[in-house]
Amino acid sequence: MKRIILGVTGSIAAYKAADLASGLTKRGHSVTVVMTEDAQQFITPMTLQVLSKNPVVAGLYDEKESWRPGHIELADGADLLLVAPATANLVAKFANGLADDVLGAIHLATPAPVLLAPAMNGKMWKHPATQENVRRLSERGVRMIGPEEGMLACGYEGIGRLWPVEGIMDAAEEVLAEEAERRMV
């Protein structure tokens, strides 16, 4: 069983995090969902808590029972940090090392591999700033899956859709397997 932190950000695609949390749990992984404040506008923590069978973390100060900061404990114990959907805002925060929320703090503190599944308007995805942020993250070893083309929530047709849930789960397991193999060498 691998420990996966599933980051969920404020995108209409956030509802697909329910299928991800459920599917990864069914595949035998321990999933802890970490939600941004904006994500909670699209899906409730309770839904993700029930499907992941773990408490959901929604703020830096959620942990009250230990002297040790909860986000550091999560970061230290993670085998994978998966963010799906990853908005343009999240990609920019990660690329610039911002830790103004729990997900950003975990990103900076974890030695685990990071996999992002972007979902955003196609113009936002293609914007030079977003592409520069993607390049910077790639140089640091952060992996991306997607986005794919199709009908977007804004009504446009084009790139920006969240990669299919099954594909994201397969990519997560690939990254976990590669990391396990790397550690054995």
Active-site residue numbers? 154
CA 104 to centroid of chain Cα atoms: 10
Phi, psi (deg, nearest 5) at residue 9: -115, 175
Buried b (16+ CB within 10 A) or exposed e, 58-68: bebeebeeeee
Say which amino acid occupies 27.
Answer: R
DSSP character for 1? -
Q: Beta-strand (E) ranges in 63-174? A: 80-86, 114-118, 143-144, 148-151, 157-161
Q: What is the DSSP string of 70-100?
A: HHHHHHHH-SEEEEEEE-HHHHHHHHTT--S
